[in-house]
Amino acid sequence: MKPHALIFSGYGLNTEDETKSAFEKAGGTADVVHINDVIARPKILTQAHIVVFPGGFSYGDDTGSGKAYGNRVTQHLGEHLEKFLSRDTLMLGVCNGFQIITSAGILPGALIANDNARYTCRWVDVEVQNDSPWLRGITEMSVPIAHGEGKYYAPEKVFTELKAQNGVALRYVEGETAKYFNQPANPNGSMENIAGITGYGGRCLGLMPHPERAVRFTELPHWTYLREEYVRDGADVPKDGPGLTMFKNAVEYFS
């Protein structure tokens, strides 16, 4: 049986289709399920290997990004998600999903307003910091962001504990796309350039960049330039983008 992902939807989440496609492209299966249906039938969590909270703008970010959806998750599904994570399972929170799982207390810290006080949509470069199952075999990757509240923050005590538990998963670095577009490496002012963190021994990953929007080579912002480099060097032009490896890792984790 192929590893199965359950992808939450509803109330402003909007990248569930890209996420489903990424898991299927990686060799798994996936269902998009409205949060109300999960609340009504929480036993469907027992049929999933992977749970994903995708990106979007849940509840219009009216009370802060991810807070209302996070409260709904805590009040109605907290116990069920604890049981889910007590198994050898994986969880992913992307962008608004990261904001949701921190608001729900599944991962520590919070995502607050960008230092530039603007919604920022661009590509960034991130460097892997730990050995999460999601990140095996990856050292750096280029991925897009799209957020206004992506600055990772945690109180000193919480931050110290996070680092002691090797919970820092991704950091923004000055890599290929930052140089190409002449942009600062850290797009939002996150503490110590943090772009993603993990919990539950690395099985639960929250990150602000969108790997599901970087699963094809032609999604890279400078793919035409790179294509010409490959052609001039006599090399094959890649078909896959850097983000796909994350989804392949998740599927292969259960093989």
Active site amino acids:
95, 210, 212
Calculate Rg over the CA atoms of the chain.
Answer: 17
Greatest distance between any 2 Cα atoms in the chain? 57
Classified as helix, coil or strand, 247 is: helix
Six token digits for residue 94: 């992307």
CB-based contact 85:198 (threshold 8 Å): no
Q: What is the C-alpha separation between 83 and 250, in angstroms, rounded?
A: 19
Task: Return d(Cα 163, Cα 156) in angstroms, integer.
Answer: 11
- Residue 241's SS3 state is coil
* 13 DSSP 8-state letter: B
Q: What are phi and psi of 186, to 5 degrees?
A: -90, 115
Q: Tell me if residue 172 falls in helix, strand or coil.
A: strand
DSSP letters of 77-99?
Answer: HHHHHHHHHHSS-EEEEETHHHH
Burial class (CB in 10 A: 0-12, 13-18, 19+), 43: exposed
